[in-house]
Homo-oligomer: A and B are copies of this chain.
Amino acid sequence: MVVETELTDDEVDRIFRALADATRRDIVRRTLTAQPSISELAEYYAMSFAAVQKHVVVLEKADLITKRTQGRTTLVTANPVAIARAKGLLDKYEQLWHSRVTQLDSLLAQESP
């Protein structure tokens, strides 16, 4: 079963933009298998807490992660559905490419009947 992708250009922009940064990709990775708080995440990176928090905001606006406030902490969880959607987009491209090959095939078939 294929994941339904009804994404606007802006949404796709935000998803790929969010993934175009190594720190943010690492945050996605970590939050796929755990639910760290923002300050826990910040310990891993050589930058300020505020910088990490801004990365989390970018990921949240791309819907790649969701935040859940737990007392005074904010737990971060990756959203695999958004990842699957991004993959679905790339799948469309690959299918397009395969269609080119089949078009070429049928063209060759026409040329040598």
Contact of A21 among B13, B19, B25, B90 (CB under 8 A): B13
Q: In the bound complex, what is the Cα–Cα distance between A25 and B84 (angstroms)? A: 18
What residues of B have a CB within 8 angstroms of the CB of A20 in the complex?
A: 12-17, 20
**Which of A80, A86, A93, A96 has the most CB atoms of chain B within a 10 A radius of its CB?**
A93
Q: Which of chain B's residues have a CB closer than 8 A to the CB of A99?
A: 33
Decide if A96 touches B29 in the complex (CB within 8 Å): yes
Copies of the polypeptide in the assembly: 2
What 0/1 readout, one digit per residue, does chain A (1-18) give for beta carbons within 8 Å of chain B?
000000001001111110
Q: Is A97 in contact with B32, judged by CB distance below 8 angstroms?
A: yes
Report A61-105 CB contacts with B as 1/0, cut-off 8 Å: 000000000000000001010011011001101101101100100
A13-B17 in contact (CB<8A): no
Residues of B within 8 A of A80 (CB): 93-94, 97
